[in-house]
Chain A
Amino acid sequence: MNLKLKDTNPRLPAWFGLLLLALWLFPSTASAHQETGAVWGFSSGFIHPLTGLDHITAMVAVGLWGAFLGPPAMWVLPVVFPLVMAFGGALGVLGMPLPGVETGIALSSVVLGIMVAFAVRPPLWVAAVIVGSFAIFHGHAHGAEMPKAANAATYAIGFVIATGLLHLSGIALGLLVRWSWGKKLVRAGGVVIAIIGFGFLFHFISA
């Protein structure tokens, strides 16, 4: 008699993970009667990158460019960026001045948008250096602008996660390059990002 054991390994469906993430992203369900503390710190940190068009465009551009360059850049860039961004954030938290933060942030959209628009394919280390250089400015802005009442730990977790999710959204859009129309769309997206960056750079748009 051949007994075949049923596979009893429990597997969580993918939607479960998304549900957990969604619940974590909606702190209004978990902010009972207080506007300070860990939950508010997380929501404050999470929202911070999302309230600045300059941050959003640059983060999405990193994902777009990574997807455009393909593996391993597709994951190297989203790994390098938060690490270097945290360094910049540490500088901001410690009150160390960094000249030209807003210019650097605006320039990041311009440069990264141009990279995508013109389908520039530098060596991986060059792409990583470019992305890392701009990450410092973004991080410094997040660290320096942390609300004093926010819980520092959850604020940091919040804005790192938000930044990463923006990268992922850029990667998801960037995967359209597998189609010829998708390539044009992604490169057009790069043009839009670069234009927005110019707008910030010359103060036609304010953050």
Chain B
Amino acid sequence: MALLVLAFPATASAHTTVSGVGDFFGGVLHPLTTPAHLLVLLGLGLLAGRQTPLNLKIPLAVFIPLSAVALLLTTTGMVRTVYPPILIGISLVAGALVALGKPLPAKVTGAIFAVAALVLGLDSAAEAGSAMATAKTLLGTWCGLILAVADIAYYLSFCTKQQWQQVGIRVAGSWITAASFMILAFALRR
């Protein structure tokens, strides 16, 4: 994932399209090249992946359709971007829950994934263009969101057996929370 991000350095900034890769792949890369989105996805992935045994049924069952709905809503023009503190608040909460290390009820995890799916989708409006280009971009974004969170959770599930790995996950959660807190301060400063 990081290699893909680094492969397109000129576009590693919030809410810009990736030139030269086409609409679909531009959409796939969009969540990875938007720092705030990446933090949310990392938080979600850690939240889902650290639970043993790995159970992605409920998280993905809510994330997949709700992110699709949210992305479709962006085509109506009603929502162009989401108020940044809302987005950052999700990564802050997710990171804090990971850092705490307490197991969460499935419904709570599902609720967090549901809110995150809606917010990420609504904050991923495609740049103005033809209907086909917009459709491809949104489809790519949808795939990118799902792949990112599912991959992080899946591969993380292999790193939960040893105690030092579990500690590392909690430390990573605290990093996500800390970074989110700082970004929130930057957003409020503006």
Contact = CB atoms under 8 A, between A and B. Distances in A.
Contact of B35 (A29, A79, A157): A157
Interface string B27-58: 00000010110010000000000000000000
Contacts, number: 112
Contact of B175 (A34, A143, A160): A160
A12 B13 CA distance: 28
B4 to A, nearest CB: 11
Contacts of A153: 14, 35-36, 39, 179, 183, 186
Interface residues of B, number: 37
Given A12-B155, A93-B189, A151-B13, A156 B182 contact: yes
A89 B175 CA distance: 13
Interface stretch (B69-77, B139-147, B166-174): B166-174
Contacts of B173: 79
B171 to A, nearest CB: 6
Chain B residues touching A, majority SS: helix
B78 interface: no
Nearest to A165: B175
B10 interface: yes
A153 B178 CA distance: 11
B151 to A, nearest CB: 10
Interface of B: 1-3, 5-6, 9-10, 12-14, 33, 35-36, 39, 99, 155, 158, 163, 167, 170-171, 173-175, 177-189
29 contacts: A9-B158, A29-B6, A30-B5, A30-B12, A31-B9, A34-B10, A38-B35, A74-B167, A75-B167, A75-B170, A75-B171, A79-B99, A79-B171, A79-B174, A82-B177, A82-B178, A83-B99, A83-B174, A83-B178, A86-B177, A90-B181, A90-B185, A152-B183, A153-B36, A153-B179, A153-B183, A156-B179, A160-B175, A161-B175
